[in-house]
Chains A and B, each alone.
Chain A
Amino acid sequence: MSSDADAPVDAGAASVEDLRAQVQALQEDVSDLREATDDDGQKSMTIIATKGTLDMAYPPLILASTAAAFGWDVVVFHTFWGLDILHEEKSKNLKLSAVGNPSMPMPNAVAALPFMDSVATSMMEKKIQENGTATVEELIETSLDMGVDLQACQMTIELMGYDEAEFYDGVTTGVGAATALQHMADADVQLMI
């Protein structure tokens, strides 16, 4: 902004020309701003899913499918162990860790026994079934049906030695941090789980 804008207005013809030009420049600025902030009111959410245990698979999928029910544009970017949620075979065998979990009704020394993760997982799976809570597989299928973009980080696919064909049909592969950031920058809600 030039300092001319603060100067007293001169009634001369040249000043009127200046003012006219300034008004036009301002109008163009306002028009650009309006265009940049104009959206259709649709909300958007990006979740970064980094964990691959049974309990940590649920929050991103529940929030994603519910947001899709609200008509939001949703991306869940899965990286590191979060990839296991999208891995067709591994997603059906996600485990719950009994160690370091204060909610488990057993001391850590017992929880560390070799079979305890399987016991804890079976207990949780039984509770999920009894409660009528959807399985991870059902939530993935539902999310995909509702248009949630489930993305698998390409770098970690290669790091973990997975094959793209091992993921659920409809999962987006060939994406990286830049793609995730691009969506996050425009999102109303960003979560790292």
Chain B
Amino acid sequence: MSTYEPTETLDVKGLSCPMPVVKTRGAVDDLESGEILRVVATDSGSMSDLKGWADATDGVSMLEQEEAEEDGDAVFRHFIQKE
């Protein structure tokens, strides 16, 4: 389990590319500097896509990514901080 305390959570379970990245962008735009967004996805491609997006985008950093299980389904959690 992550030790990061998110300010907001974005649920993109059931959505596939490109929506996890696109919706994350919108959610990060609504954050204040220093706040942390937790993105919960079922799309396994989100591990690579959100990391790539965070690396290439100014003003955000990927703190942690983890794979877990919720209700028997694999979920991918991403902790993104707005700088």
Assess the A132–B21 pair: CB atoms within 8 A: no
Interface string of B39-67 (1 = CB under 8 A from A): 00011000000000100111000000000
Judge whether A69 is part of the interface by a CB distance below 8 angstroms. Answer: yes
Q: Knowing A69-B25, A70-B56 touch, does A132 contact B14 (C-beta < 8 A)?
A: yes
Choice from B14, B15, B21 contacting A69 with Cβ under 8 Å: B21
For B18, B21, B25, the residue with the greatest tally of chain A CB atoms inside 10 Å of its CB is B18
Q: Which residue of chain B is the closest to A131 with respect to CB atoms?
A: B16
CB proximity to B under 8 Å, residues A29-75: 41, 62, 65-66, 68-71
Q: Which residue of chain B is the closest to A63 with respect to CB atoms?
A: B18
Q: Which residue of chain A is the closest to B28 with respect to CB atoms?
A: A69
Could you tell me the distance in whole angstroms from the C-beta of A27 to the nearest C-beta in chain B?
32
Assess the B18–A65 pair: CB atoms within 8 A: yes
Q: Knowing A65-B22, A142-B22, A146-B25 touch, does A70 contact B57 (C-beta < 8 A)?
A: yes
| Interfacial residues, chain B to chain A (CB-CB below 8 A) | 14-19, 21-22, 24-26, 42-43, 53, 56-58
Q: Please list 15 pairs of residues, one from A and one from B, whose beta carbons are closer than 8 Å in the complex, sorted by A's number.
A: A41-B58, A62-B17, A66-B18, A66-B21, A66-B22, A68-B22, A68-B25, A69-B24, A132-B16, A132-B19, A132-B42, A132-B43, A133-B17, A142-B19, A146-B26
- 4 additional A-B pairs beyond A65-B22, A70-B57, beta carbons within 8 Å, are A68-B25, A70-B56, A133-B17, A146-B22
